[in-house]
């Protein structure tokens, strides 16, 4: 396990005054693989004096590990990306309810589990990237527009097994119904420029290279490119533009990075303190500045040129818990459409 240490320091009114030197520690299992998260861990230790031990891995592997460890698991907190993965952990019985007035006050209801099993601490939008020289943005103002026959042979997107696409499909099922969502998937498959391959960055690069004209990606992948100083990224940024879909109706589909207290956590009080720290202005600013995500707490100041350049948008306010609940139906829809 990796450990960070630090001195005791309060952060405004969000964290109570630190106690005297304590031996308490916190064990975190995390599937977030971002170097900038180090500031989250060190910031918490500095604020509370609680040492952090951390195990990192893929989300499904960590969920299975905690499940197999059972009552003997040392895990206090599980952090992962996407409400669909939080749902998988929930289904495996990984989480216990957390009751915190601070979290209920600061985290919007749409971005946390209705019964407090997990909370979203940063968000990202699933947006449409397009070749600004070859595509009329009026054709791609909604996710539903991706099924238009005018886009035949123009779309690049990841595989149906990708959790981001499963969650997007789950949201379409919630809003449009299973039959309409399945037909949408079938029509989008007919519009593929190539078979699904690569990550979100690969889709953006494909648009810039002229391999396709339209792609669907998470917002922070675009922001990374816009904030980069290298010539290759600058060249990509010159070729693309973005649309935040469904601004005239329900809003753009958003997802979260989130965390919950593990059932049987050996340090439950420290675990709750950590979740509350993630809702602090300081931690929220780290999320936005470090990984180009959006803070979930209203009013947090964001110092990120790319996010400012991309602009504000209306977000879908459906509770992200449905992204997991509808996940099995989403996979059925993809399979029936032949989306591999």
d(C-alpha 222, C-alpha 220), whole Å: 5
CA 29/CA 59 separation, integer angstroms = 9
Res 69: pLDDT: 96
Residue 163: pLDDT above 90? yes
Output the pLDDT for position 34. Answer: 74
The least confident of 5-19, 35-49, 258-272 is: 5-19
Domains and CATH numbers, the chain: 2-123+256-302 (3.40.190.10), 124-252+314-337 (3.40.190.10)
Report percent pLDDT > 70 for the chain. 93
* d(C-alpha 216, C-alpha 206), whole Å: 11
Using the predicted structure, report yes or no on whether residue 140 has a pLDDT greater than 90: yes
Give every CB contact of residue 263 below 8 A, 6+ residues apart in sequence: 93, 94, 95, 96
Q: Is the confidence at residue 33, as pLDDT, over 90?
A: no
Task: Give the pLDDT score at 189.
Answer: 98
Q: How far is the C-alpha of 173 from the C-alpha of 314, rounded, in Å? A: 20
Predicted structure pTM score: 0.90
* Average per-residue pLDDT for the chain: 92
Residue 171 has pLDDT above 80, yes or no: yes
Asked if pLDDT for residue 24 goes beyond 60, the answer is yes
* DSSP type of residue 32: -
Q: Is 183 exposed, middle or buried (CB count within 10 Å of its CB: 0-12, 13-18, 19+)?
A: middle
Checking if the pLDDT of 4 tops 50, the result is: no
């Amino acid at each position: 396990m990796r450990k960070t240490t630090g001195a005791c320091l309060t952060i405004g009114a969000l964290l109570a005054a630190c106690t005297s030197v304590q031996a308490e520690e916190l064990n975190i299992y995390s599937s977030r693989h971002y170097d900038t998260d180090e500031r989250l861990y060190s910031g918490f230790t500095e604020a509370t004096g609680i040492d952090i031990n951390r195990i990192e891995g893929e989300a499904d592997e960590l969920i299975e590990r905690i499940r197999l460890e059972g009552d003997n698991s040392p895990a206090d907190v599980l952090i992962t990306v996407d409400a669909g993965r939080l749902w998988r952990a929930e289904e495996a019985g990984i989480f216990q309810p957390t009751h915190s007035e601070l979290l209920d006050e600061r985290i919007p209801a749409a971005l946390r589990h209705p019964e407090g099993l997990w909370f979203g601490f940063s968000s990202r939008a699933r947006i449409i990237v397009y070749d600004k020289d070859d595509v009329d943005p009026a054709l791609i103002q909604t996710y539903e527009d991706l099924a238009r026959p005018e886009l035949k042979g123009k779309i690049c997107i990841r595989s149906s097994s990708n959790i981001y696409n499963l969650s997007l499909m789950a949201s379409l099922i919630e809003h449009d119904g299973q039959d309409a969502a399945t037909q949408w998937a079938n029509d989008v498959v007919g519009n593929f420029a190539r078979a699904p391959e690569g990550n979100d960055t690969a889709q953006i690069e494909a648009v810039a290279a002229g391999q396709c004209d339209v792609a669907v990606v998470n917002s922070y992948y675009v922001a990374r490119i816009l904030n980069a100083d290298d010539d290759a990224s600058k060249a990509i940024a010159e070729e693309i533009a973005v649309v935040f879909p469904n601004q005239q109706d329900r809003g753009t589909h958003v997802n979260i990075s989130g965390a919950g207290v593990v059932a049987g956590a050996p340090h439950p009080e420290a675990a709750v303190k950590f979740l509350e720290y993630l809702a602090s202005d300081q931690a929220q600013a780290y999320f936005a500045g470090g990984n180009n995500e959006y803070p979930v707490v209203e009013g947090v100041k964001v110092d990120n040129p790319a996010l400012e350049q991309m602009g504000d948008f209306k977000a879908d306010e459906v509770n992200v818990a449905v992204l997991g609940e509808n996940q099995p139906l989403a996979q059925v829809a993809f399979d029936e459409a032949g989306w591999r």
